[in-house]
Structure 1
Amino acid sequence: MDAELVDWELAVTTARRLVRPGPQITREQAGEVVAELRRLAVDAERHVEDYTHLAPAGAITPINVVDRPEWVRSNVAGLRVLTTPLLGKLSDQQRGTFSTAVGRRVTGIQLGTALAYLASKVLGQYEVFLPPEEYLAGPDGSATPDAVGRLSLVAPNIAHAEATMGVVPRDFRMWVCLHEQTHRTQFTAVPWLRSHLESEITAFIEATDLDPDVLADRVRSAVAAVRGAVFDRGADSPSVVEALQTPAQRAVLDRLQAIMTLLEGHADQVMDAVGPRVVPTVADIRSKFEGRRDGGSPLDRFIRRLLGLDLKLQQYRQGGAFVRAVVAEAGVGGFNTVWESPTTLPTRAELADPTAWMQRVLGSRPSISA
């Protein structure tokens, strides 16, 4: 069997070498952070289910509290699963050209460098795509092959963020757990969501233009666009993620972005809706966290733009506004119609116009205020 086109082990090694150390706290303090995150994650699950009226089905997914190196390892494992179809396509069509132009070691270093940056930023995530051996549940380590994913909380990043912002640690930890548990509930309570997301990613891969000359032109154009957007602070310039797309990919990307905007916005809305009951200082946390999202040096903004992270900030805001508008008009029950099937998901245009989605999907149905 031919070697893979990405040196995954080198990506892990590079990221772990470059990632910044976490906050300087004692082993006892670190243990307290980990223990409380585990407790709060369990509590948050109940609060999310009570508010959303979404009940997880099937196997219970595990909760991991990790450090930065473990986050890197886990995400490389997930990326390896997610990109296997694309790399297989590259392997079949033009392995020699790709290996010459980029090289699996160079690609591994590039990936590791990006992950090293992200490893100090991410507070938590719900990992949807994992290799089979990663699906473990509970302290007994029993395998759950039908599990959907895994919730991971990055303890040093949470501890660093709460100290930097000067917020109440227990409240901030619960606030983060509410957001991530909402993502967990989305995928465990909506059986078709993971397979639909996977099919859209497959469609995106099928539309990928593998011509190295075309790709090189797009990279040059994308980097130029990003440089101008960051240092000129242009709001409408594309990220590399957007600028590299073919027309066919953009159509799929529109659907993928609509899904991710909905998921992020829903999690943001839930954490703020539940927050006042279980997070006494939620208003202070939200105010300070929004400032943290918007901040950063020119270099930080450049990296965010290069990796497409500015897109995620837009997703939180637009998606949150959509969910809040629908819940205000039709209640949580009316909003939950969004989870009935792929056809009830909002389009990108509808995310900016919640009334259009309600007219198309809810139609003459009575408003459900529950």
Structure 2
Amino acid sequence: MPDLPRDSDDQLGDDFDDQFGHRRDDDDASVRPSDDPLGDALSPEIQEVLARLTGGQVDPEMAKALKDMGIDQVDPAMLQMMVGQMQSMFASTDTDAFNLTLATDTARKTVSEAGDSVVGEPARRQLAQAVQVAELWLDEVTAFEAPGISTHAWSRAEWVEATMTTWGTLVEPVAEGVGRAVGDAMRAQLQQLGEGGLPEGLLPAGVDPAAMLGQMEPVLAKMSGAMFGLQVGQAVGTLATETVSGTEVGLPLVADRSVALLPANVEAFAEGLGVDLDQVRIYLAVREAARVRLFSEVPWIGPQLVAAVRDYARDISIDTDRIESALQSVDASDATALQSALQDQLFRPDPSPAQRAALARLETYLALVEGWVDVVADRATRDHLPQSAALGEAVRRRRATGGPAEKAFAGLVGLELRPRRLRDAANLWAALEAKHGADGRDAGWGHPDVAPTGADLDDPLGYVERFGTSESADLDAALDQLLSESEAGPSDGDGRSGEAGPSDEDGR
């Protein structure tokens, strides 16, 4: 009978045995606590978990040292989960800035704990009908056409799967900075440890912690990637329990330009509004369909938004000293407190000049997108939905109290967006429409050079007055004249086609 491949956990245990001299009983497939007399050092449950991690026995001195560090206060079930994650992490060959697979799994677990279910066929039909109505109404109020992609009715887990790759792209620069900072902090602590710097028995006799630095580099990288992956997964998972559509946060998260809504979250949003659920569903479908049209018809805005987020994240300056202080002052056995302390240190840095510039661009672009959606949704629904105004006000209140977008960016890249910019942008688009019509309003997206800026949001009426001024009209007329002359060909002095070139005398 051929030998079966060995499980990765078995190999991990053997590797640990080889390094630290522990013993594994291969004749017994189950993992048992050590038979060594540990007395009252650790409970049998925790001994079993540690035996699984070490591949066999738990050294009494090591057990005593771990108890002194407070491991006996940790819930055995939580410790069991942590051990499983550690074994999975160390067996992984992932070398990215953060563990995207772990982030996705964590997000899915987060939504599962909050409650999630498969979207049934009746809900899918209701959503498809709502989107069809929304597209018809939008055709009447905007020149931007629908991309013609299918409609999605997603569960929370499906939204996670569909958007996580884009989230990974957005936060990758933060993950790289966090990895460097956490690695530097832990290396600094190890380098300061000499003989006797750790509790006796935690490491084999004669092992210098500082000498292990080189060997621990890959482990530190994986630990950092796993930590940030957990952070991203929890943030995205929490967001999935609140967001009502694919791109409510204002970013092009859905790759196929489809109109996607989450029926469970739409129903949760409708609770307490006193508005018929059908009206709520159609109104949110109008907003999402408008946003999808914008991202499809204005190809530069999506990349600009992503670039602004990455530029902000890339220049995050993380104070290593503060991280070291957090690691020293928090009880290592309290995983929640440790994560909270690290989050406070990692994700709220003082912005640099480059970050301020990136933040200004991001706030401006997000405000322009959502302000335009506000105006277009109002125009599309006010003659059709009796509660259109109430629904618009509900959306504005949701943003003002910290909607999904604000929570997402605050948790992932330390951004706190200002709702005031959204109101300013809506006022600008409405004023532009009042003076130049819907086509003129949408023409403001024609090119990044003519799109409104942050300064224009401070003075929307000034932008409206400058947009389509006589200077621009004269330039357009001159361009039309050049094009018409080019098509007609050269003219001669009698007015016929063609004009003589300069004479020798004129040309000298």
User: TM-score normalized by structure 2?
Assistant: 0.54
Q: Deviations over 1:314-358 (max 9, x none)?
A: 443232222122222332222223111111121112112112222
> Is 1:278 the counterpart of 2:384 in the alignment?
yes
Contact 1:82 1:129 in 2 (8 A): no
Match of 2:301 in 1: 193
Contact 1:81 1:129 in 2 (8 A): no
Q: What is the Cα deviation at residue 263 of structure 1?
A: 0.4
Match of 1:266 in 2: 372
Match of 1:81 in 2: 169
> What is the aligned counterpart of 2:252 among 128, 150, 153?
128
Inter-partner Cα distance in structure 2 for 1:295 and 1:108: 27
Q: Deviations over 1:185-244 (max 9, x none)?
A: 111112333344455456546x62566538959x9xxxxxxxxxxxxxxxxxxxx97855
> Is 1:105 the counterpart of 2:226 in the alignment?
yes
User: Matched residues, percent identical?
Assistant: 23
Contact 2:252 2:302 in 1 (8 A): yes
Inter-partner Cα distance in structure 1 for 2:449 and 2:315: 25
Inter-partner Cα distance in structure 1 for 2:452 and 2:347: 22
Match of 2:445 in 1: 339
The RMSD of aligned alpha carbons is 3.7
Q: What is the Cα deviation at residue 313 of structure 1?
A: 3.6
| Structure 2 CA distance for partners of 1:192 and 1:290, relative to 1, 3 Å | closer
Q: What is the Cα deviation at residue 245 of structure 1?
A: 2.8
Q: What is the Cα deviation at residue 7 of structure 1?
A: 1.7
> Is 1:177 the counterpart of 2:285 in the alignment?
yes
The residue type paired with residue 267 of structure 1 is V
Q: Which runs of 5+ in 2 are unaligned?
A: 1-92, 186-218, 327-345, 474-508
Inter-partner Cα distance in structure 1 for 2:448 and 2:154: 33
Contact 1:183 1:267 in 2 (8 A): yes
Match of 1:250 in 2: 356
Inter-partner Cα distance in structure 1 for 2:380 and 2:320: 51
> Is 1:352 the counterpart of 2:458 in the alignment?
yes
Match of 1:156 in 2: 264
Contact 2:239 2:408 in 1 (8 A): no
Tell me which protein shows more helix as a share of its residues: 1
The residue type paired with residue 61 of structure 1 is I
Inter-partner Cα distance in structure 2 for 1:192 and 1:295: 30
Contact 2:308 2:358 in 1 (8 A): yes
Inter-partner Cα distance in structure 2 for 1:214 and 1:270: 49
Q: Deviations over 1:108-164 (max 9, x none)?
A: 12112212321121111336256xxx64xxxxxxxxxxxxx3432111000121133
Contact 1:165 1:289 in 2 (8 A): no
Q: Which runs of 5+ in 1 are unaligned?
A: 136-148, 220-239
Inter-partner Cα distance in structure 2 for 1:210 and 1:256: 19
| Structure 2 CA distance for partners of 1:262 and 1:172, relative to 1, 3 Å | same
* Secondary structure class of the residue paired with 2:386: coil
Match of 2:99 in 1: 7
* Secondary structure class of the residue paired with 1:64: strand
Match of 2:11 in 1: none
Match of 2:131 in 1: 41
Contact 2:102 2:226 in 1 (8 A): yes
For the pair shown, the structure with the greater C-alpha radius of gyration is 2
| Structure 2 CA distance for partners of 1:22 and 1:312, relative to 1, 3 Å | farther
Match of 2:158 in 1: 70
Q: What is the Cα deviation at residue 251 of structure 1?
A: 0.9
* Secondary structure class of the residue paired with 2:290: helix
Q: What is the Cα deviation at residue 175 of structure 1?
A: 0.6
User: TM-score normalized by structure 1?
Assistant: 0.72
The size of the alignment, in residue pairs, is 318
The residue type paired with residue 276 of structure 1 is R
